[in-house]
Structure 1
Amino acid sequence: MKRTLTHYSIAAVVAYAGLCGWLYFAQDRLLYFPTPAVEIENAEKVILENGDHTLRIWKIGNGSNAVLYFGGNAENVANNVAHVENLLPDTAFYLTNYRGYGGSSGEPSEAAIIEDAALLFDHVSANHQRVSVIGRSLGTGVATWLAANRPVRKLILVTPYDSIEAIAMREYSFVPVSLLLRNKFRSIDYVPAITSPTLVLLAETDRVTPHHHAMNLVEQFPESQISVHTLPDSTHSTVSHARGYYRLIRQFLLDEGLNIDRRNIKTSL
Protein backbone atom coordinates (compact mmCIF):
# COMPACT_ATOMS: atom_id res chain seq x y z
CA MET A 1 0.00 0.00 0.00
CA LYS A 2 2.81 2.39 0.93
CA ARG A 3 4.60 1.65 -2.34
CA THR A 4 1.42 2.37 -4.29
CA LEU A 5 0.97 5.71 -2.53
CA THR A 6 4.60 6.57 -3.24
CA HIS A 7 4.10 5.82 -6.91
CA TYR A 8 0.99 8.02 -6.97
CA SER A 9 2.89 10.82 -5.23
CA ILE A 10 5.74 10.63 -7.69
CA ALA A 11 3.32 10.59 -10.61
CA ALA A 12 1.52 13.65 -9.22
CA VAL A 13 4.79 15.54 -8.79
CA VAL A 14 5.90 14.64 -12.32
CA ALA A 15 2.52 15.67 -13.75
CA TYR A 16 2.59 18.98 -11.87
CA ALA A 17 6.14 19.69 -13.00
CA GLY A 18 5.10 18.85 -16.56
CA LEU A 19 2.17 21.25 -16.35
CA CYS A 20 4.41 24.03 -15.04
CA GLY A 21 6.89 23.34 -17.82
CA TRP A 22 4.16 23.41 -20.45
CA LEU A 23 2.80 26.73 -19.14
CA TYR A 24 6.29 28.24 -19.10
CA PHE A 25 7.04 27.34 -22.70
CA ALA A 26 3.48 27.93 -23.98
CA GLN A 27 2.90 31.28 -22.28
CA ASP A 28 3.64 33.38 -25.36
CA ARG A 29 1.04 31.42 -27.34
CA LEU A 30 -1.46 32.05 -24.55
CA LEU A 31 -0.82 35.80 -24.47
CA TYR A 32 0.00 36.89 -28.02
CA PHE A 33 -2.23 36.30 -31.04
CA PRO A 34 -0.49 38.02 -33.99
CA THR A 35 -2.66 39.46 -36.74
CA PRO A 36 -1.85 39.29 -40.46
CA ALA A 37 -0.44 42.11 -42.55
CA VAL A 38 -2.94 44.18 -44.52
CA GLU A 39 -2.67 47.02 -46.99
CA ILE A 40 -4.54 50.29 -46.41
CA GLU A 41 -4.99 52.96 -49.05
CA ASN A 42 -5.76 55.92 -46.79
CA ALA A 43 -2.87 55.45 -44.35
CA GLU A 44 0.86 56.02 -44.65
CA LYS A 45 3.11 53.08 -43.88
CA VAL A 46 5.98 54.04 -41.57
CA ILE A 47 8.86 51.58 -41.35
CA LEU A 48 11.18 51.71 -38.33
CA GLU A 49 14.31 49.61 -38.02
CA ASN A 50 15.28 48.34 -34.58
CA GLY A 51 18.40 46.25 -34.95
CA ASP A 52 17.47 43.18 -36.98
CA HIS A 53 13.76 43.87 -36.66
CA THR A 54 11.44 45.93 -38.84
CA LEU A 55 8.41 47.66 -37.34
CA ARG A 56 5.42 48.51 -39.47
CA ILE A 57 3.41 51.49 -38.23
CA TRP A 58 0.28 53.03 -39.75
CA LYS A 59 0.25 56.83 -39.81
CA ILE A 60 -3.04 58.67 -40.33
CA GLY A 61 -3.15 62.43 -40.69
CA ASN A 62 -0.59 65.17 -40.12
CA GLY A 63 -0.08 68.02 -37.70
CA SER A 64 1.94 69.38 -34.83
CA ASN A 65 0.35 66.89 -32.41
CA ALA A 66 0.67 63.11 -32.42
CA VAL A 67 -1.14 60.21 -30.78
CA LEU A 68 0.45 56.77 -30.45
CA TYR A 69 -1.91 53.80 -30.26
CA PHE A 70 -0.99 50.42 -28.75
CA GLY A 71 -3.66 47.78 -29.20
CA GLY A 72 -4.80 44.54 -27.63
CA ASN A 73 -3.13 41.16 -27.86
CA ALA A 74 -5.32 40.00 -30.75
CA GLU A 75 -6.17 43.38 -32.28
CA ASN A 76 -5.52 44.34 -35.86
CA VAL A 77 -4.80 48.03 -35.30
CA ALA A 78 -5.55 48.76 -38.95
CA ASN A 79 -9.24 48.47 -38.06
CA ASN A 80 -8.96 51.81 -36.27
CA VAL A 81 -7.96 53.81 -39.35
CA ALA A 82 -11.47 54.83 -40.40
CA HIS A 83 -12.33 55.91 -36.86
CA VAL A 84 -9.34 58.18 -36.25
CA GLU A 85 -8.69 59.75 -39.65
CA ASN A 86 -11.03 62.67 -38.95
CA LEU A 87 -11.13 62.49 -35.17
CA LEU A 88 -8.80 65.39 -34.33
CA PRO A 89 -7.47 68.41 -36.20
CA ASP A 90 -3.74 69.05 -36.53
CA THR A 91 -2.98 65.53 -35.31
CA ALA A 92 -1.21 62.47 -36.68
CA PHE A 93 -2.17 59.04 -35.34
CA TYR A 94 0.42 56.26 -35.26
CA LEU A 95 -1.07 52.76 -34.98
CA THR A 96 1.55 50.31 -33.77
CA ASN A 97 2.01 46.75 -35.01
CA TYR A 98 3.91 44.81 -32.35
CA ARG A 99 6.63 42.42 -33.44
CA GLY A 100 5.00 39.57 -35.32
CA TYR A 101 1.81 41.61 -35.87
CA GLY A 102 0.60 43.29 -39.04
CA GLY A 103 3.78 42.81 -41.04
CA SER A 104 6.28 43.72 -38.31
CA SER A 105 9.07 41.16 -38.07
CA GLY A 106 10.20 39.17 -35.05
CA GLU A 107 8.42 37.64 -32.08
CA PRO A 108 6.50 39.62 -29.44
CA SER A 109 7.66 39.83 -25.84
CA GLU A 110 7.25 42.40 -23.10
CA ALA A 111 10.87 43.54 -23.35
CA ALA A 112 10.75 43.80 -27.16
CA ILE A 113 7.42 45.64 -27.23
CA ILE A 114 8.61 48.17 -24.63
CA GLU A 115 11.87 48.71 -26.48
CA ASP A 116 10.04 49.28 -29.77
CA ALA A 117 7.54 51.64 -28.12
CA ALA A 118 10.37 53.79 -26.77
CA LEU A 119 11.96 53.88 -30.23
CA LEU A 120 8.66 54.91 -31.82
CA PHE A 121 8.02 57.62 -29.24
CA ASP A 122 11.49 59.10 -29.74
CA HIS A 123 11.03 59.03 -33.52
CA VAL A 124 7.60 60.67 -33.35
CA SER A 125 8.52 63.29 -30.74
CA ALA A 126 11.32 64.50 -32.98
CA ASN A 127 8.69 65.45 -35.57
CA HIS A 128 5.74 66.57 -33.42
CA GLN A 129 5.45 69.12 -30.63
CA ARG A 130 3.16 67.11 -28.35
CA VAL A 131 2.70 63.35 -28.14
CA SER A 132 -0.20 61.62 -26.38
CA VAL A 133 -0.58 57.87 -25.94
CA ILE A 134 -3.55 55.50 -26.07
CA GLY A 135 -3.28 51.91 -24.87
CA ARG A 136 -5.98 49.28 -25.08
CA SER A 137 -5.99 46.05 -23.06
CA LEU A 138 -2.47 44.60 -23.44
CA GLY A 139 -1.36 47.95 -24.84
CA THR A 140 -2.17 49.73 -21.57
CA GLY A 141 0.93 48.12 -20.10
CA VAL A 142 2.98 49.67 -22.90
CA ALA A 143 1.25 53.02 -22.55
CA THR A 144 1.83 53.24 -18.79
CA TRP A 145 5.51 52.43 -19.24
CA LEU A 146 5.85 55.19 -21.83
CA ALA A 147 4.04 57.71 -19.65
CA ALA A 148 6.42 56.90 -16.80
CA ASN A 149 9.53 57.16 -18.96
CA ARG A 150 8.76 59.72 -21.66
CA PRO A 151 7.10 63.20 -21.71
CA VAL A 152 3.61 62.01 -22.66
CA ARG A 153 1.16 64.91 -22.96
CA LYS A 154 -1.97 62.88 -22.21
CA LEU A 155 -2.56 59.24 -21.43
CA ILE A 156 -5.66 57.19 -22.31
CA LEU A 157 -6.07 53.66 -20.96
CA VAL A 158 -8.85 51.45 -22.37
CA THR A 159 -9.77 48.36 -20.31
CA PRO A 160 -6.49 48.48 -18.35
CA TYR A 161 -5.14 46.17 -15.66
CA ASP A 162 -2.84 46.39 -12.67
CA SER A 163 -0.57 43.70 -14.13
CA ILE A 164 -0.73 40.69 -16.42
CA GLU A 165 0.91 38.87 -13.55
CA ALA A 166 -2.08 39.54 -11.28
CA ILE A 167 -4.54 38.37 -13.94
CA ALA A 168 -2.50 35.22 -14.58
CA MET A 169 -2.34 34.49 -10.85
CA ARG A 170 -6.14 34.57 -10.78
CA GLU A 171 -6.47 32.28 -13.81
CA TYR A 172 -3.68 29.86 -12.86
CA SER A 173 -3.76 29.98 -9.07
CA PHE A 174 -2.53 26.39 -8.85
CA VAL A 175 0.96 27.17 -10.25
CA PRO A 176 3.75 29.57 -9.15
CA VAL A 177 2.91 32.24 -11.71
CA SER A 178 5.42 34.80 -10.45
CA LEU A 179 8.25 32.33 -11.04
CA LEU A 180 7.05 31.12 -14.43
CA LEU A 181 5.79 34.30 -16.08
CA ARG A 182 8.14 36.22 -18.38
CA ASN A 183 5.65 38.86 -19.57
CA LYS A 184 4.41 40.47 -16.35
CA PHE A 185 3.44 43.95 -17.65
CA ARG A 186 3.28 45.43 -14.14
CA SER A 187 1.51 48.68 -15.02
CA ILE A 188 0.85 49.41 -11.37
CA ASP A 189 4.58 49.84 -10.75
CA TYR A 190 4.82 52.71 -13.26
CA VAL A 191 2.05 54.90 -11.87
CA PRO A 192 4.16 56.83 -9.31
CA ALA A 193 6.30 58.19 -12.16
CA ILE A 194 3.33 59.25 -14.34
CA THR A 195 2.39 62.93 -14.34
CA SER A 196 0.26 63.00 -17.51
CA PRO A 197 -3.48 63.75 -17.23
CA THR A 198 -5.08 60.33 -17.62
CA LEU A 199 -8.42 59.07 -18.96
CA VAL A 200 -9.53 55.51 -18.22
CA LEU A 201 -12.31 53.88 -20.27
CA LEU A 202 -13.87 50.71 -18.89
CA ALA A 203 -16.26 48.21 -20.46
CA GLU A 204 -19.50 47.71 -18.58
CA THR A 205 -18.90 43.94 -18.58
CA ASP A 206 -15.30 42.77 -18.70
CA ARG A 207 -14.37 39.16 -18.07
CA VAL A 208 -10.88 39.53 -19.57
CA THR A 209 -9.61 42.33 -17.34
CA PRO A 210 -12.20 42.48 -14.54
CA HIS A 211 -12.88 45.88 -13.00
CA HIS A 212 -11.05 45.20 -9.77
CA HIS A 213 -7.79 44.86 -11.72
CA ALA A 214 -8.47 48.20 -13.41
CA MET A 215 -9.44 49.86 -10.14
CA ASN A 216 -6.29 48.59 -8.43
CA LEU A 217 -4.44 50.62 -11.04
CA VAL A 218 -6.73 53.64 -10.86
CA GLU A 219 -6.39 53.91 -7.08
CA GLN A 220 -2.66 54.56 -7.45
CA PHE A 221 -3.26 57.83 -9.34
CA PRO A 222 -3.85 61.15 -7.59
CA GLU A 223 -7.55 62.03 -7.88
CA SER A 224 -6.74 65.32 -9.62
CA GLN A 225 -4.93 63.47 -12.40
CA ILE A 226 -7.43 60.86 -13.55
CA SER A 227 -10.95 60.52 -14.94
CA VAL A 228 -12.68 57.14 -15.22
CA HIS A 229 -15.69 56.36 -17.41
CA THR A 230 -17.62 53.11 -17.80
CA LEU A 231 -19.15 52.72 -21.25
CA PRO A 232 -22.66 51.23 -21.23
CA ASP A 233 -23.63 48.03 -23.01
CA SER A 234 -20.02 47.14 -23.77
CA THR A 235 -17.68 44.22 -23.20
CA HIS A 236 -13.90 43.94 -23.31
CA SER A 237 -13.94 43.23 -27.04
CA THR A 238 -16.72 45.69 -28.01
CA VAL A 239 -15.80 48.72 -25.91
CA SER A 240 -14.56 50.71 -28.91
CA HIS A 241 -18.00 50.35 -30.52
CA ALA A 242 -19.81 51.70 -27.47
CA ARG A 243 -21.70 54.97 -27.58
CA GLY A 244 -19.46 57.79 -26.38
CA TYR A 245 -16.12 56.02 -26.86
CA TYR A 246 -14.61 58.27 -29.51
CA ARG A 247 -16.37 61.35 -28.17
CA LEU A 248 -14.68 60.95 -24.81
CA ILE A 249 -11.30 60.44 -26.45
CA ARG A 250 -11.75 63.51 -28.61
CA GLN A 251 -12.94 65.70 -25.73
CA PHE A 252 -10.09 64.60 -23.50
CA LEU A 253 -7.39 65.22 -26.09
CA LEU A 254 -8.90 68.58 -27.08
CA ASP A 255 -9.67 69.68 -23.50
CA GLU A 256 -13.33 70.07 -24.50
CA GLY A 257 -15.79 69.66 -21.68
CA LEU A 258 -14.21 66.67 -19.97
CA ASN A 259 -13.46 67.45 -16.36
CA ILE A 260 -10.31 65.66 -15.22
CA ASP A 261 -9.93 67.33 -11.84
CA ARG A 262 -11.79 64.58 -10.01
CA ARG A 263 -12.21 60.82 -10.25
CA ASN A 264 -15.28 60.48 -12.41
CA ILE A 265 -16.50 56.90 -12.26
CA LYS A 266 -19.81 56.89 -14.07
CA THR A 267 -21.73 55.69 -17.09
CA SER A 268 -21.11 57.95 -20.07
CA LEU A 269 -23.91 59.34 -22.18
Structure 2
Amino acid sequence: MKLLRRGLFALVILVALAYAGAVGYMYFNQRALQYSPAGDIIALSATTLGAAEQVTIPSGNSSVTAWYQAPQPGMPVIIYYKGNTGSFTEEHERYEQFVADGFGFAAFDYRGFPTSPGEITQDNMLEDSLAVFDWVAAKGDPIMIWGRSIGTGPATYVAGRRDAKALLLETPYLSAVSVAAERYPILPVNLVMLDQFPSNAWIKDVTEPVLIAHGTADRTIGVSNGERLYALAPKPYELWIVPDADHSDLWDAGIWGQAQPFFEKALAP
Protein backbone atom coordinates (compact mmCIF):
# COMPACT_ATOMS: atom_id res chain seq x y z
CA MET A 1 0.00 0.00 0.00
CA LYS A 2 2.84 2.35 0.90
CA LEU A 3 4.47 1.63 -2.46
CA LEU A 4 1.19 2.37 -4.27
CA ARG A 5 0.84 5.71 -2.47
CA ARG A 6 4.38 6.64 -3.43
CA GLY A 7 3.67 5.71 -7.04
CA LEU A 8 0.50 7.81 -7.13
CA PHE A 9 2.31 10.73 -5.51
CA ALA A 10 5.10 10.50 -8.08
CA LEU A 11 2.53 10.40 -10.87
CA VAL A 12 0.78 13.51 -9.54
CA ILE A 13 4.12 15.32 -9.36
CA LEU A 14 4.96 14.34 -12.94
CA VAL A 15 1.56 15.50 -14.20
CA ALA A 16 1.89 18.79 -12.31
CA LEU A 17 5.36 19.39 -13.71
CA ALA A 18 4.19 18.59 -17.24
CA TYR A 19 1.24 20.97 -16.85
CA ALA A 20 3.45 23.72 -15.46
CA GLY A 21 5.86 23.17 -18.34
CA ALA A 22 3.06 23.49 -20.89
CA VAL A 23 1.80 26.69 -19.26
CA GLY A 24 5.33 28.10 -19.11
CA TYR A 25 5.99 27.25 -22.75
CA MET A 26 2.77 28.94 -23.81
CA TYR A 27 3.50 32.03 -21.73
CA PHE A 28 7.01 32.61 -23.02
CA ASN A 29 6.21 31.70 -26.63
CA GLN A 30 2.66 32.99 -26.85
CA ARG A 31 3.21 35.72 -29.43
CA ALA A 32 4.99 33.28 -31.72
CA LEU A 33 1.96 31.02 -31.34
CA GLN A 34 -0.60 33.83 -31.70
CA TYR A 35 0.73 35.68 -34.76
CA SER A 36 1.78 34.51 -38.23
CA PRO A 37 3.49 37.52 -39.82
CA ALA A 38 5.57 35.77 -42.48
CA GLY A 39 4.48 36.30 -46.06
CA ASP A 40 5.33 37.72 -49.46
CA ILE A 41 5.39 41.44 -50.17
CA ILE A 42 3.64 42.44 -53.39
CA ALA A 43 5.00 45.60 -55.00
CA LEU A 44 2.46 48.32 -55.62
CA SER A 45 3.70 48.47 -59.21
CA ALA A 46 2.65 44.83 -59.66
CA THR A 47 -1.02 45.73 -59.08
CA THR A 48 -3.54 47.73 -61.09
CA LEU A 49 -3.59 50.45 -58.42
CA GLY A 50 -2.01 53.05 -60.67
CA ALA A 51 -3.20 56.06 -58.65
CA ALA A 52 -2.34 54.67 -55.21
CA GLU A 53 0.78 55.66 -53.30
CA GLN A 54 2.93 53.92 -50.73
CA VAL A 55 3.26 56.03 -47.61
CA THR A 56 4.95 55.86 -44.23
CA ILE A 57 2.70 56.80 -41.34
CA PRO A 58 4.22 57.72 -37.96
CA SER A 59 2.97 55.63 -35.04
CA GLY A 60 4.27 56.26 -31.55
CA ASN A 61 8.06 56.12 -31.71
CA SER A 62 7.93 54.05 -34.90
CA SER A 63 6.01 53.98 -38.19
CA VAL A 64 3.99 51.69 -40.46
CA THR A 65 3.98 51.20 -44.21
CA ALA A 66 0.66 51.70 -45.99
CA TRP A 67 -0.95 52.08 -49.38
CA TYR A 68 -3.39 54.93 -49.84
CA GLN A 69 -5.64 56.17 -52.60
CA ALA A 70 -8.09 59.03 -52.32
CA PRO A 71 -11.76 58.35 -53.16
CA GLN A 72 -13.77 59.74 -56.04
CA PRO A 73 -15.57 63.01 -55.11
CA GLY A 74 -18.31 62.42 -52.58
CA MET A 75 -17.17 58.86 -51.82
CA PRO A 76 -15.58 57.53 -48.61
CA VAL A 77 -12.25 55.92 -47.76
CA ILE A 78 -12.19 52.32 -46.52
CA ILE A 79 -9.54 51.76 -43.86
CA TYR A 80 -8.70 48.06 -44.00
CA TYR A 81 -7.40 46.38 -40.85
CA LYS A 82 -5.76 43.19 -42.09
CA GLY A 83 -5.79 39.69 -40.68
CA ASN A 84 -3.11 37.67 -38.95
CA THR A 85 -1.09 36.21 -41.82
CA GLY A 86 1.40 37.85 -44.15
CA SER A 87 1.38 41.36 -45.56
CA PHE A 88 -1.55 43.59 -46.41
CA THR A 89 -0.09 43.82 -49.93
CA GLU A 90 -1.18 40.26 -50.67
CA GLU A 91 -4.83 41.38 -50.60
CA HIS A 92 -4.49 43.93 -53.40
CA GLU A 93 -7.43 42.36 -55.24
CA ARG A 94 -9.71 43.81 -52.58
CA TYR A 95 -8.28 47.30 -52.88
CA GLU A 96 -8.53 47.14 -56.66
CA GLN A 97 -12.25 46.41 -56.30
CA PHE A 98 -12.73 49.25 -53.83
CA VAL A 99 -11.10 51.68 -56.23
CA ALA A 100 -13.02 50.38 -59.24
CA ASP A 101 -16.25 51.29 -57.45
CA GLY A 102 -15.11 54.79 -56.52
CA PHE A 103 -13.99 54.20 -52.94
CA GLY A 104 -10.65 55.28 -51.60
CA PHE A 105 -8.68 52.96 -49.34
CA ALA A 106 -5.89 52.78 -46.82
CA ALA A 107 -4.30 49.44 -45.90
CA PHE A 108 -1.17 48.77 -43.90
CA ASP A 109 0.98 46.29 -41.99
CA TYR A 110 1.01 46.52 -38.22
CA ARG A 111 4.47 46.72 -36.70
CA GLY A 112 6.18 43.35 -36.95
CA PHE A 113 4.40 42.35 -40.17
CA PRO A 114 6.37 42.20 -43.44
CA THR A 115 6.55 45.87 -44.52
CA SER A 116 6.54 47.51 -41.07
CA PRO A 117 9.48 46.91 -38.71
CA GLY A 118 8.92 46.53 -35.01
CA GLU A 119 7.42 44.21 -32.40
CA ILE A 120 3.97 42.67 -32.62
CA THR A 121 1.99 43.40 -29.47
CA GLN A 122 -1.61 44.32 -28.82
CA ASP A 123 -0.58 47.80 -27.67
CA ASN A 124 1.47 48.41 -30.81
CA MET A 125 -1.32 47.15 -33.07
CA LEU A 126 -3.86 49.44 -31.42
CA GLU A 127 -1.49 52.40 -31.59
CA ASP A 128 -0.79 51.70 -35.27
CA SER A 129 -4.51 51.38 -36.00
CA LEU A 130 -5.35 54.73 -34.41
CA ALA A 131 -2.41 56.38 -36.16
CA VAL A 132 -3.59 55.25 -39.59
CA PHE A 133 -7.13 56.37 -38.87
CA ASP A 134 -5.97 59.81 -37.74
CA TRP A 135 -3.70 60.16 -40.79
CA VAL A 136 -6.59 59.39 -43.14
CA ALA A 137 -9.10 61.48 -41.17
CA ALA A 138 -6.87 64.54 -41.55
CA LYS A 139 -7.61 64.45 -45.29
CA GLY A 140 -11.27 65.17 -44.61
CA ASP A 141 -13.05 62.33 -46.40
CA PRO A 142 -15.69 60.15 -44.69
CA ILE A 143 -14.29 56.87 -43.38
CA MET A 144 -15.56 53.29 -43.38
CA ILE A 145 -13.75 50.79 -41.16
CA TRP A 146 -13.24 47.18 -42.32
CA GLY A 147 -11.57 44.67 -40.02
CA ARG A 148 -10.72 41.11 -40.91
CA SER A 149 -9.89 38.25 -38.52
CA ILE A 150 -7.37 39.50 -35.96
CA GLY A 151 -7.86 42.98 -37.42
CA THR A 152 -11.45 43.00 -36.18
CA GLY A 153 -10.18 43.76 -32.68
CA PRO A 154 -8.21 46.88 -33.66
CA ALA A 155 -11.05 47.90 -36.01
CA THR A 156 -13.58 47.69 -33.18
CA TYR A 157 -11.24 49.52 -30.81
CA VAL A 158 -10.78 52.38 -33.28
CA ALA A 159 -14.49 52.60 -34.09
CA GLY A 160 -15.23 53.05 -30.41
CA ARG A 161 -12.74 55.93 -30.11
CA ARG A 162 -13.05 57.74 -33.42
CA ASP A 163 -15.89 58.90 -35.67
CA ALA A 164 -16.37 56.73 -38.74
CA LYS A 165 -19.48 56.14 -40.81
CA ALA A 166 -19.66 52.34 -40.49
CA LEU A 167 -17.88 49.27 -39.10
CA LEU A 168 -17.64 45.99 -40.99
CA LEU A 169 -16.18 42.99 -39.17
CA GLU A 170 -15.22 39.95 -41.26
CA THR A 171 -14.81 36.69 -39.29
CA PRO A 172 -14.45 38.44 -35.92
CA TYR A 173 -13.77 36.97 -32.49
CA LEU A 174 -15.69 37.71 -29.32
CA SER A 175 -12.23 38.18 -27.85
CA ALA A 176 -8.90 36.64 -28.74
CA VAL A 177 -8.67 35.12 -25.28
CA SER A 178 -12.06 33.42 -25.70
CA VAL A 179 -10.85 31.79 -28.93
CA ALA A 180 -7.68 30.65 -27.17
CA ALA A 181 -9.71 29.24 -24.27
CA GLU A 182 -11.84 27.25 -26.72
CA ARG A 183 -8.70 25.93 -28.42
CA TYR A 184 -6.77 25.14 -25.21
CA PRO A 185 -9.49 24.43 -22.63
CA ILE A 186 -7.14 22.87 -20.06
CA LEU A 187 -4.75 25.84 -19.97
CA PRO A 188 -5.35 29.01 -17.87
CA VAL A 189 -5.22 31.32 -20.89
CA ASN A 190 -7.25 34.04 -19.14
CA LEU A 191 -4.44 34.36 -16.58
CA VAL A 192 -1.38 34.20 -18.84
CA MET A 193 -2.44 35.61 -22.23
CA LEU A 194 -0.94 39.05 -22.84
CA ASP A 195 -2.78 40.14 -26.00
CA GLN A 196 -6.43 39.36 -25.29
CA PHE A 197 -8.15 41.77 -27.73
CA PRO A 198 -11.45 42.12 -25.80
CA SER A 199 -13.74 43.07 -28.68
CA ASN A 200 -16.71 42.12 -26.51
CA ALA A 201 -15.83 45.10 -24.28
CA TRP A 202 -14.72 47.49 -27.03
CA ILE A 203 -17.84 47.06 -29.16
CA LYS A 204 -19.99 48.59 -26.43
CA ASP A 205 -18.42 51.97 -27.28
CA VAL A 206 -19.15 51.68 -31.02
CA THR A 207 -21.83 54.10 -32.21
CA GLU A 208 -21.45 53.33 -35.93
CA PRO A 209 -23.74 50.79 -37.64
CA VAL A 210 -22.16 47.34 -37.59
CA LEU A 211 -22.19 44.59 -40.22
CA ILE A 212 -20.68 41.26 -39.18
CA ALA A 213 -19.85 38.53 -41.70
CA HIS A 214 -18.94 34.96 -40.82
CA GLY A 215 -19.00 31.44 -42.24
CA THR A 216 -20.53 28.40 -40.61
CA ALA A 217 -17.49 26.24 -41.46
CA ASP A 218 -14.89 28.64 -40.01
CA ARG A 219 -12.23 26.44 -38.41
CA THR A 220 -10.10 29.34 -37.18
CA ILE A 221 -12.69 31.45 -35.36
CA GLY A 222 -16.00 29.68 -34.81
CA VAL A 223 -19.12 31.35 -36.20
CA SER A 224 -20.60 31.71 -32.71
CA ASN A 225 -17.99 34.41 -32.08
CA GLY A 226 -19.50 36.60 -34.77
CA GLU A 227 -23.02 35.87 -33.60
CA ARG A 228 -22.24 36.71 -29.97
CA LEU A 229 -20.34 39.87 -30.87
CA TYR A 230 -23.19 41.06 -33.09
CA ALA A 231 -25.59 40.66 -30.18
CA LEU A 232 -23.47 43.17 -28.21
CA ALA A 233 -23.35 45.86 -30.93
CA PRO A 234 -25.22 49.02 -29.85
CA LYS A 235 -26.20 49.71 -33.46
CA PRO A 236 -26.46 46.37 -35.31
CA TYR A 237 -27.14 46.56 -39.04
CA GLU A 238 -26.76 43.03 -40.40
CA LEU A 239 -25.37 39.62 -39.48
CA TRP A 240 -24.37 37.92 -42.74
CA ILE A 241 -23.75 34.22 -42.21
CA VAL A 242 -22.49 32.17 -45.16
CA PRO A 243 -23.27 28.44 -45.03
CA ASP A 244 -20.20 26.17 -45.39
CA ALA A 245 -17.77 29.10 -45.69
CA ASP A 246 -14.38 28.78 -43.98
CA HIS A 247 -12.24 31.56 -42.55
CA SER A 248 -10.81 32.85 -45.85
CA ASP A 249 -13.81 32.20 -48.10
CA LEU A 250 -15.91 35.32 -47.66
CA TRP A 251 -14.36 37.47 -50.38
CA ASP A 252 -15.09 34.80 -52.98
CA ALA A 253 -18.50 34.25 -51.37
CA GLY A 254 -19.45 37.83 -52.21
CA ILE A 255 -18.81 39.92 -49.12
CA TRP A 256 -18.23 42.97 -51.30
CA GLY A 257 -21.82 42.63 -52.50
CA GLN A 258 -22.87 43.06 -48.86
CA ALA A 259 -20.31 45.70 -47.96
CA GLN A 260 -20.86 48.14 -50.81
CA PRO A 261 -24.57 48.82 -50.20
CA PHE A 262 -23.92 48.89 -46.44
CA PHE A 263 -21.31 51.59 -46.88
CA GLU A 264 -23.43 53.55 -49.34
CA LYS A 265 -26.39 53.51 -46.96
CA ALA A 266 -24.18 54.60 -44.05
CA LEU A 267 -22.90 57.49 -46.16
CA ALA A 268 -26.37 58.71 -47.13
CA PRO A 269 -27.81 61.65 -45.14
Structure 1: segments with no counterpart, 5+ residues: 257-269
Tell me, in whole angstroms, the C-alpha distance in 2 between the residues paired with 1:112 and 1:208. Answer: 23
Cα displacement (A) at 1:22: 0.3
Structure 2: segments with no counterpart, 5+ residues: none
Tell me, in whole angstroms, the C-alpha distance in 1 between the residues paired with 2:129 and 2:204. Answer: 20
Cα displacement (A) at 1:234: 2.3
The farther-off stretch of 202-211 and 137-146 is: 202-211
CA distance 1:91–1:128, change in 2 (3 Å): farther
C-alpha contact 1:199 1:226 (8 A) present in aligned 2: yes
Cα displacement (A) at 1:52: 4.2
Whether 2:62 is the aligned partner of 1:59: answer no
* Equivalent position to 2:209, from 193, 197, 220: 197
Tell me, in whole angstroms, the C-alpha distance in 1 between the residues paired with 2:55 and 2:249. Answer: 28
Tell me, in whole angstroms, the C-alpha distance in 2 between the residues paired with 1:16 and 1:86. Answer: 49
Cα displacement (A) at 1:51: 4.2
* Equivalent position to 1:81, from 68, 92, 97: 92
* Equivalent position to 1:108, from 96, 120, 134: 120
Count of matched residue positions in the alignment of Structure 1 and Structure 2: 255
1:238 alignment partner AA:
D
CA distances 1:204-250 after superposition (whole Å, capped 9, x unpaired): 3212111211111111124x5321112355211222111x2111111
Cα displacement (A) at 1:79: 2.9
Tell me, in whole angstroms, the C-alpha distance in 1 between the residues paired with 2:159 and 2:136. Answer: 14
Aligned to 1:247: 257
C-alpha contact 1:137 1:161 (8 A) present in aligned 2: yes
* Equivalent position to 1:148, from 160, 164, 167: 160
C-alpha contact 1:148 1:191 (8 A) present in aligned 2: yes
Name the structure with the higher helix share: 2
Aligned to 1:40: 44
Cα displacement (A) at 1:63: 4.5
C-alpha contact 2:79 2:146 (8 A) present in aligned 1: yes
Aligned to 2:10: 7
Aligned to 1:50: 59
Cα displacement (A) at 1:58: 1.6
- For normalisation by structure 2, the TM-score amounts to 0.87
C-alpha contact 1:154 1:253 (8 A) present in aligned 2: yes
Cα displacement (A) at 1:108: 1.0
Tell me, in whole angstroms, the C-alpha distance in 1 between the residues paired with 2:60 and 2:98. Answer: 34
Q: What secondary structure is seen at the aligned counterpart in 1 of 2:143? A: strand
2:26 alignment partner AA:
L
Cα displacement (A) at 1:179: 0.7
Q: What secondary structure is seen at the aligned counterpart in 2 of 1:129? A: coil
Aligned to 1:264: none
Tell me, in whole angstroms, the C-alpha distance in 1 between the residues paired with 2:59 and 2:262. Answer: 32
